[in-house]
């Protein structure tokens, strides 16, 4: 008589959490498409603004593709109804989920590096500039270290997801918890810093309160990713505990928070691109965020200061708007080109006079997008 194959139960709770995972991550994925498409559109239309920062857009494309890949990989462990599955089926699902770990790490690194490099283009304080460079270094170091750990924690590697391997040599689950805790600390710290850097800069700009609130909300979306990281860290503390009644349900919950964190980070990276469309939508309902033209001009410079800058730089007042268009589009304007030689010796004075305008949320969000 043939032996009955060993079956692994998918409990009601695990099936319920799988349905929650699908019902949560699909709307998040659809929501990410909106700001991501807006970011690409703004960079290409009406003025083609792909330049030295093409790498940022490529990083955004790669990170978005990796985010979707990661989401698809973990779907293998989502069983939406209670059932009994074979060991081979459970092994395949676990293998895909394990492969998703380095994919998630690479995607998160691309997303956050894209944000950090973009923020470095803004007129930030020296402390923030140093902090952003440190963040970039930490992201790269952690990605390399985590990837090495993932592919060397078990010998043979197959033992990482196949518990039928005989006499494997693997690190204990407590080490996995420590590595995951380090990842959580890195993610929370970087999310908070990358969110606060533009928020603090924009809040000190002399712009209408409603406009500053909107921009800060858009640039602060990364704080939601930090909250998800904290919730995931709480669950990971139970990973490897033999007293856990339903390890499959725990794995599904961790996957949900992992994918949610990833999509929220991507949403935060692209959300500033929505400022223009939201501002136009509110204007149709009679809600104005600013009484100035959204195509920013040097309106913050007082008349006295502007006349002094005119005299020192040789740039007439009528040329400021054209220069502003050149700054916003990333291309030198005709006025700036013709007066560049005349104002070389006094460029530092002109730059100080234009400081407030360069820190405008419109210019900042154009750069972020």
Share of the chain above pLDDT 70, in %: 73
220 and 342 part of one domain: no
Of the pLDDT bands very low, low, confident and very high (cuts 50, 70, 90), residue 44 is confident
Single pTM value for the model:
0.74
Which of 194-198, 241-245, 353-357 is predicted least confidently?
353-357
- For residue 1, being part of any structural domain is answered with no
Q: What is the pLDDT of residue 54?
A: 52
198 and 235 part of one domain: yes
- The arithmetic mean of pLDDT across residues 328-346, rounded, is 42
Q: How many domains does the chain have?
A: 2
Which of 250, 275, 300 terminates a domain? The answer is: 275
75 and 216 part of one domain: yes
The CATH number of whichever domain residue 118 belongs to comes to 1.20.1070
Q: Across-strand partners of 154?
A: 170
155 and 296 part of one domain: no
255 and 312 part of one domain: no
- For residue 53, being part of any structural domain is answered with yes
Q: In whole angstroms, what is the distance from residue 84 CA to residue 90 CA?
A: 10
Q: Domain range for residue 102?
A: 7-275
Q: Please say if the pLDDT value at position 334 is more than 90.
A: no
pLDDT digits (tens, 9 = 90+) for 255-281: 999 999 989 988 888 888 788 788 888
55 and 185 part of one domain: yes
Q: In whole angstroms, what is the distance from residue 87 CA to residue 3 CA?
A: 14
266 and 286 part of one domain: no
Task: List, in order, residues 6 or more apart from 301 with CB less than 8 Å away.
Answer: 309, 320, 353, 354, 356, 357
54 and 105 part of one domain: yes
Q: What is the pLDDT of residue 343?
A: 42
If you average pLDDT over each of 16-25, 202-211, 318-327, which comes out highest? Answer: 16-25
- For residue 2, being part of any structural domain is answered with no
108 and 214 part of one domain: yes
315 and 228 part of one domain: no
104 and 188 part of one domain: yes
């Amino acid at each position: 008589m043939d032996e009955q194959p060993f079956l692994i139960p998918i409990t009601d709770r695990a099936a319920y959490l799988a349905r929650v995972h699908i019902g949560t991550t699909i709307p998040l994925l659809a929501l990410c498409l909106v700001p991501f498409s807006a970011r690409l559109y703004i960079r290409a239309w009406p003025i083609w603004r792909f330049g030295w920062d093409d790498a940022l857009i490529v990083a955004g494309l790669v990170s978005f593709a990796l985010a979707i890949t990661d989401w698809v990989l973990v779907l293998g462990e989502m069983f939406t109804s209670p059932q009994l599955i074979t060991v081979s089926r459970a092994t395949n699902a676990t293998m895909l989920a394990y492969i998703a770990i380095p994919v998630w790490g690479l995607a998160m690194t691309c997303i956050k590096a894209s944000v950090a490099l973009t923020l470095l283009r803004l007129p930030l304080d020296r402390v923030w500039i140093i902090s952003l460079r440190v963040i970039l270094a930490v992201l790269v170091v952690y990605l390399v270290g985590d990837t090495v750990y993932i592919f060397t924690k078990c010998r043979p590697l197959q033992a990482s997801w196949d518990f039928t391997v005989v006499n494997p040599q693997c690190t204990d689950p407590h080490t996995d918890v420590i590595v995951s805790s380090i990842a959580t600390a890195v993610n929370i710290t970087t999310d908070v810093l990358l969110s606060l850097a533009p928020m603090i800069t924009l809040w000190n700009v002399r712009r209408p309160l409603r406009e500053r609130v909107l921009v800060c909300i858009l640039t602060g979306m990364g704080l939601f990713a930090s909250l998800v990281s904290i919730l995931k860290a709480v669950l990971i503390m139970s990973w490897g505990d033999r007293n856990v009644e339903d390890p499959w349900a725990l794995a599904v919950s961790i996957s949900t928070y992992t994918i949610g964190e990833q999509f929220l980070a991507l949403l935060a990276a692209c959300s500033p691109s929505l400022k223009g469309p939201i501002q136009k939508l509110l204007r149709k309902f009679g809600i104005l965020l600013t009484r100035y033209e959204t195509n920013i001009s040097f309106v913050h410079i007082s008349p006295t200061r502007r006349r002094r800058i005119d005299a020192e730089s040789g740039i007439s007042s009528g040329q400021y708007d054209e220069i502003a268009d050149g700054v916003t589009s990333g291309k030198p304007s005709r006025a700036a080109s013709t007066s560049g030689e005349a104002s070389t010796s006094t460029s530092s004075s002109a730059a100080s006079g234009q400081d407030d305008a360069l820190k405008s949320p419109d210019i900042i969000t154009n750069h972020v997008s």
